[in-house]
Structure 1
Amino acid sequence: MSDTKLTQVDTTLFTLRALQMEQDIPIIHDWVNREYARYWQMQHTSTEDVKAVYTAITQTKGTQVLMGFYAGHPAFLLECYWVNEDPLSNYYDAMPGDLGFHILVAPAEKPIHNFTWNVFSVIIEYMLSEPAVHRLVVEPDVRNEKIHILNKRAGFEYQKIISLPQKDAYLGFCTREQYNAAKSAGSSIIPQLFSRQVTQMGHFSFRPLQLDTDIFLIHNWVNREYAKYWQMQHTSIEQVKHTYTSIIQSKHAQAFLGFCNNVPAFLWESYYAANDPIGKYYDVQEGDYGLHLLVAPPDRVIHGYTLQILHTIMQYMLMNDAVKRVIVEPDIRNEKMHVLTQKVGFAYTRELQLPHKKAYLAFCTREQYAATLPAATLLTQKN
């Protein structure tokens, strides 16, 4: 890629062909011996070692190795394999049509914005163009943070950690529907309604919920066990769509899809309390606005992650002069939410018996929120 001077990617310039040993092995040998390729597990190998490995792979039943090019330059290596023909099938109940893959992108000498994501999109669309493929399967090293971000952005869902002979790995799956939903959601990130940069975590942002593109993600999230307090388990896509159609069309409520580093990360709703059923349960004041928050299924624990999502929402809401107090009414059993809301300044007042839950009623003013922020906290944001 050293001759490429583009600042954005033209996806029509990607091409694929079958691996050609004599021509490609010296290039691959250089890539796999770089530090960035350590998760490929082929460092300190000779050219002959690499050739022997790929000779064996290309002779394996159900496996295909392809060399990828961008504008005529070697850009990535792709290995595809039918899981039913692979040892990975020993680690879960493999289904017909499960296609696994590995990808190695060329070392970036002159970085191009979003290049790796475009490579990833190209290879996923290439694999999903095969009708026999029903699901894509990945098993990345648990330490490979960069590939986890790409996988999540593409719609992969991690199910569990498996111990393979050479690594501990996440086992993840992605269907056409998941990929299309994630891609549509990601393509709609710009324009963002609000964004915020957090040191060591990255970029948090959100935009209004778009049912046509987001409904598959939301349906998956609300039906998980961890989302039990959202009270939408065992619902169909049509039921979820009906619920959010009502919210979006309401004059007093809004729904938003949030992202962390361009990966769908949270769902949140705001509502004007005076026009909401909650107004029947307490003495509503002008400027009371409520919020509900659901974070995407966690693959791993990141200290302070959900708190930073809540900070992002609070900062956006309190930028609006019409908002005098933010209110929440979390289920009394939802201990994690109580801890989070109190960290950003919410004061719990009393219990409420709502139609579907017993809840605490809590309020947070600008002054209460500001008091929770360290003086040294540096935040950048735009709207």
Structure 2
Amino acid sequence: MASPRASADPATAPTAHGTGTDAGADGEDTLDLHLPEEFAALFRTERAGPAPAAPAGADLLDRVADWGPAATPDGPFELVPVQDARDIALVGRWMNDPAVAAFWELNGPPEVTDAHVRAQLTGDGRSVPCLGLLDGVPMSYWEIYRADLDPLARYCPVRPHDTGVHLLIGDAADRGRGLGTTLIRAVTDLVLARRPRCTRVLAEPDLRNTPSVAAFLGAGFRLAAEVELPGKRAALLVRDRGAPGLP
């Protein structure tokens, strides 16, 4: 799970981590109680002790490494799972940008980012940290995760296979020009195309982060609720499969 302080903001330090809700007939979001077997299995494992690390290349997200690129107006974009210390060092540099640090709170010595990323790399595969490559150049950091298997599900109702997204855009030159919305849309399209069992993609930026909320809304998300999370009050944003005008 990503830093509970993280908050999506394509204009400054974009990141989203969220859990979802089901829209009922009255238009309100209601709890879906049909939890997947993975959730029960992980719960049993957590009670028994720490889960074993996932095999190399394995994840619970239909192999993010194999998703391939997405076409965007700014060039091909691809998620590439973090692989080595050089990747982590790059993410650490981005985390120490004040605009990013204000929301992620993972600034400081290299060990801070290293611990955060390696906890996912050595985990059970429910969260996959990635570099975002635009036209072959690393320019953003993403965490694609199973929201239904994430501790944040304690704060929000979820559906099986709901997929959460955290992100940050690394360099100031790539912020504030609409690129965040473009990439959010591209990644969301990838999630829904490559994860047929997933019906919703979720994000929960800090409510104070109005540029971020606007970026997600521009990428086809809807505001489902306001949620109290550790360290912030969040806008719970949901992109539904088959939303009008979207895949």
CA 1:301/1:248 → structure 2, altered by over 3 Å: closer, same or farther? Answer: closer
On the 8 A contact 1:193/1:208 being kept in 2, the answer is: no
Once residues 211 and 300 of structure 1 are traced to their aligned partners in structure 2, the CA distance between those partners, rounded to angstroms, is 24
Shift of 1:205: 1.6
On the 8 A contact 2:227/2:235 being kept in 1, the answer is: yes
- Give the AA of the match of 1:263: V
The reply to whether residue 329 of structure 1 matches residue 190 of structure 2 is: no
CA distances 1:88-125 after superposition (whole Å, capped 9, x unpaired) = xxxxxxxxxxxxxxxxxxxxxxxxxxxxxxxxxxxxxx
Once residues 279 and 303 of structure 1 are traced to their aligned partners in structure 2, the CA distance between those partners, rounded to angstroms, is 33
CA 1:283/1:196 → structure 2, altered by over 3 Å: closer, same or farther? Answer: closer
On the 8 A contact 1:254/1:271 being kept in 2, the answer is: yes
How many residues matched? Answer: 180
* Runs of 4+ with deviation above 4 angstroms: none
Once residues 302 and 360 of structure 1 are traced to their aligned partners in structure 2, the CA distance between those partners, rounded to angstroms, is 20
CA 1:366/1:222 → structure 2, altered by over 3 Å: closer, same or farther? Answer: same
- Give the AA of the match of 1:208: P
3-state SS of paired residue (1:340): helix
Once residues 295 and 242 of structure 1 are traced to their aligned partners in structure 2, the CA distance between those partners, rounded to angstroms, is 20
On the 8 A contact 1:192/1:205 being kept in 2, the answer is: no
Gaps of 5+ in 1: 1-190, 374-383
Once residues 300 and 341 of structure 1 are traced to their aligned partners in structure 2, the CA distance between those partners, rounded to angstroms, is 16
Paired position in structure 1 for 2:226: 351
Q: Given the two structures, how large is their TM-score scaled by the length of structure 2? A: 0.67
CA distances 1:232-281 after superposition (whole Å, capped 9, x unpaired) = 23x21111111111122222111110111221111111111222111111
Paired position in structure 1 for 2:135: 261
Once residues 111 and 174 of structure 2 are traced to their aligned partners in structure 1, the CA distance between those partners, rounded to angstroms, is 30
Shift of 1:192: 7.0
Once residues 335 and 218 of structure 1 are traced to their aligned partners in structure 2, the CA distance between those partners, rounded to angstroms, is 24
On the 8 A contact 2:71/2:186 being kept in 1, the answer is: no
- Give the AA of the match of 2:139: A
Once residues 246 and 155 of structure 2 are traced to their aligned partners in structure 1, the CA distance between those partners, rounded to angstroms, is 28
Greater Cα radius of gyration, structure 1 or 2: 1
Paired position in structure 2 for 1:212: 85
Q: Please state which structure has a larger fraction of its residues in strand.
A: 1
Q: How does 1:43-62 map to 2 (within 5 A)?
A: none
- Give the AA of the match of 1:241: D
Paired position in structure 1 for 2:171: 297
Q: Please state which structure has a larger fraction of its residues in helix.
A: 1
Q: Which of 255, 280, 285 is residue 159 of structure 2 equivalent to?
A: 285
On the 8 A contact 1:226/1:297 being kept in 2, the answer is: no
- Give the AA of the match of 1:325: R
Paired position in structure 2 for 1:317: 191
CA 1:302/1:202 → structure 2, altered by over 3 Å: closer, same or farther? Answer: farther
On the 8 A contact 2:185/2:220 being kept in 1, the answer is: no
Once residues 123 and 208 of structure 2 are traced to their aligned partners in structure 1, the CA distance between those partners, rounded to angstroms, is 29
Shift of 1:211: 3.4
| Greater Cα offset, 326-335 or 291-300 | 291-300
Once residues 175 and 92 of structure 2 are traced to their aligned partners in structure 1, the CA distance between those partners, rounded to angstroms, is 22
Paired position in structure 2 for 1:238: 111
Once residues 300 and 196 of structure 1 are traced to their aligned partners in structure 2, the CA distance between those partners, rounded to angstroms, is 18
- Give the AA of the match of 2:173: D
3-state SS of paired residue (1:195): coil
More RCO (CA 8 Å, sep 6+): 2
Paired position in structure 2 for 1:221: 94
On the 8 A contact 1:347/1:362 being kept in 2, the answer is: yes
Q: Give me the CA root mean square deviation.
A: 2.0
CA distances 1:173-216 after superposition (whole Å, capped 9, x unpaired) = xxxxxxxxxxxxxxxxxx874212334x2221221112322112
